[in-house]
Amino acid sequence: MGADRRANGRKHYISELTVDIPGSKRRAEIEPPPSRWRTLEFKFYTLAFIVVVPLLVWSPINLSSPHNPNYPYYSYRLSLGWWFLPEVDDSDPQYRTFRSGFPSLLALAAAFLLPSHLIRKAGFTSASARANFIVIFALIMLVALHGVSAFKVLAILGANFYAARARKPAAIERAWPLVVIVGNMLILFANEKFDGYHFGALHSGLKSLDDLKGAYPRWHITFNITMLRIVSFALDYHWRTQPQSTPPTDQRGRAAQAHPEAEYNPVNYLAYTLYPPLYIAGPIMSFNDFVWQLQRPLDISTSDRLKYLLRFAFCMITMETIIHTMYVVAIKDARAWVGMTPAQLSMIGFWNLVIVWLKLLIPWRYFRLWALFDGVDAPENMVRCVANNYSVLGFWRSWHRSYNLWIVRYIYIPAGGAKRVVLSTFLVFTFVALWHDLSFRLLAWGWLVTLFIIPEITARALVPEKKYGDRWWYRHVAAMGGVVNILLLMGANLVGFVLGLDGMQHLIHQLVTTPQGWAFMAFATSCLFIGVQIMFEYRNDEARRGIDRRC
């Protein structure tokens, strides 16, 4: 696990594998200890990694073999493979949609980037020229994607723009943040209930309009992302102050610093809410940040773009390797786990979480990469690997980072923030669950995460690192707390995104009522303890480089 080495006269660190995010290069509050990578303790941890990690990979591959007794129960969910392997588990609908539509997305990106760069080469580099081009292209794209339903999207956007800019009675003005969020949540509920609305429901003579669907007719499925931009515009306008003379230098400053009122105009609003690279899935930017970047484009080097392209390609190759060799999604969906040991069941759950992480990471990185090639730096969504999290708070900050930044600015702080942390967190995760999907499963996930945050907050208050961090026992006690956090995080996410409540009950029953389950839990918690120690040192590695990613 050699943490650093010398090459070309420069010291390299293992923590450089984590993607850079703006604002992370600052001194840690507590001076990090000397490197432990070469100590006897961490050499033992390295040996444990060498032994255990291959077992984590081998187990799901073995369960995916055609010779496995459960293979006939899930094989109907497999598809013809692309590579030298004959079959692929392409049964996850979200990733299947992205995977099958990837060539079209590449063509769409090329169709946008080519004229965008040509227009700037021709000298049309002003913010207004860029915004006008974005709006024209976005309207064409909207009609191509949604057909006649594009007018439904524009109607909702127009109503929200008018409401945001209109003069309001004092009582409504004071409650406007709540009105905007609740009102747009009700629009999401209505979109879902009426299946995106049908012209035929208004009058039988309009039914033929419903056949003009476009390439992606279910516009209301991805409208959740647009809803966040609508709220951002409305509240950035509502909270606007006198613009400062000095332009902001980082993402946080760009999000907080207002523009002159004239910049909150229909063209900028449409360019922001319909910006093609980020329209379908994000990442999410604030309106203020987007307009700042139109006015003062950031200096994004070719090297940075190419490095990010390589990251994206590596992630996609990793996903393809997994779904061609581990059929864990098909096994989970078919509930083909008869006769599995608790260890095997846990591996099915773990690798399903890895696939959930990758199926979200890959589209987000693709759309962010597209924006980077257009000169727009959207927030990075996935900072850490899913297997590099031991803190519930840190996991939330790094899992869907741009959404977390949005939540903090528009819900958490207005709800009281750290002054009312439990209430604010409860409101945040209730909103997050309902925003994702109107289902009890995700509502249960949101409340579980809220519940699981409380012990971590309590432990940090009772045993703060600033006071006890230099004691020999602190790191080991913190690692035990990290193990508990990981088990809670895996439980909440298995309920919300993988197994559901009934599947999770079956797994817990196997773990706590069988001797095999007890033995596996003892082994797994020992491995997790070692893993958390590695995660601590990984972050110390970052701190020694002056980096604090807060996750």
- pLDDT tens digits along 311-321: 999 999 999 99
Amino acid occupying residue 329: V
Mean pLDDT (the chain) is: 89
Minimum mean pLDDT range among 204-208, 262-266, 305-309, 470-474: 204-208
The predicted structure's pLDDT at residue 491: 80
* CB-based burial label for 144 (10 Å; 0-12, 13-18, 19+): middle
Query: Which residues are paired to 4 by β-bridges?
Result: 13
Encoded tokens for 119: 């227009």
Angle of helix 515-544 versus helix 500-513 axis, rounded to 10: 110
From 117, 324, 436, 506, active-site residue: 436
Instruction: Tell me the helices (H) and strands (E) count for the chain, helix number first.
Output: 24, 4
Query: Which residues are paired to 88 by β-bridges?
Result: 79
**Preceding omega of 283 cis (within 30 degrees of 0):** yes
d(C-alpha 287, C-alpha 255), whole Å? 7
Picking from 213, 205, 192, the residue whose alpha carbon sits closest to that of residue 150 is: 213
Phi, psi dihedral angles at 392 (to 5 degrees): -65, -45
**In contact, 56 and 347? CB cutoff 8 Å:** yes
Residue 215: other Cβ atoms inside 10 A? 12
d(C-alpha 529, C-alpha 486), whole Å? 10
The predicted structure's pLDDT at residue 7: 40
- Taking phi over 0 as left and psi of -120 to 50 as alpha, with beta for the rest, 417 belongs to left
The predicted structure's pLDDT at residue 550: 80
Within 8 A by CB and 6+ apart from 68, the residues are: 62
The predicted structure's pLDDT at residue 44: 97
Q: The whole model's pTM is what?
A: 0.91
Encoded tokens for 540: 């110390």
Amino acid occupying residue 55: L
C-alpha neighbours within 13 Å on the C-beta side of residue 324: 13
Give per-residue burial for 55-70: e unless 16+ CB within 10 Å, then b.
Answer: eeeebbeebbeeebeb
**In contact, 467 and 480? CB cutoff 8 Å:** no
| pLDDT tens digits for range 334-382 | 988 888 888 888 898 899 989 999 999 999 999 999 999 999 999 999 9
| pLDDT tens digits for range 42-51 | 999 999 999 9
Encoded tokens for 250: 């980082």
| pLDDT tens digits for range 382-397 | 999 989 999 988 887 8
d(C-alpha 33, C-alpha 115), whole Å? 52
Q: Is the dihedral of CA 192, 197, 198, 202 positive or negative?
A: positive
Relative to beta strand 79-80, strand 10-13 is: unpaired
Query: Furthest-apart CA pair in the chain: how many Å?
Result: 79
d(C-alpha 309, C-alpha 18), whole Å? 15
The predicted structure's pLDDT at residue 440: 59
CA distances, 511 to each of 71, 152, 238, 485 (Å): 23, 50, 52, 17
H/E segment holding residue 4: strand 4-7
Q: Is the pLDDT of residue 64 over 90?
A: yes
Q: How far is CA 105 from the centre of its chain?
A: 20
The predicted structure's pLDDT at residue 441: 62
Give the pLDDT mean for 268-275. 98
**In contact, 538 and 10? CB cutoff 8 Å:** no
Percentage of the chain surpassing pLDDT 70? Answer: 92
Q: What is the DSSP letter of 13?
A: E
Give the pLDDT mean for 435-453. 69
The predicted structure's pLDDT at residue 99: 95
Per the model's pLDDT, the better-predicted residue between 34 and 116 turns out to be: 116
pLDDT band at 6 (very low <50, low <70, confident <90, very high): very low
Phi, psi dihedral angles at 10 (to 5 degrees): -120, 135
| pLDDT tens digits for range 230-242 | 999 999 999 997 6
**Is 400 annotated in the active site?**
no
Q: Quick check: helix, strand or coil at residue 12?
A: strand
The predicted structure's pLDDT at residue 14: 72
d(C-alpha 27, C-alpha 25), whole Å? 7
| pLDDT tens digits for range 133-191 | 999 999 999 999 999 999 999 999 999 999 999 999 999 999 999 999 999 999 999 99
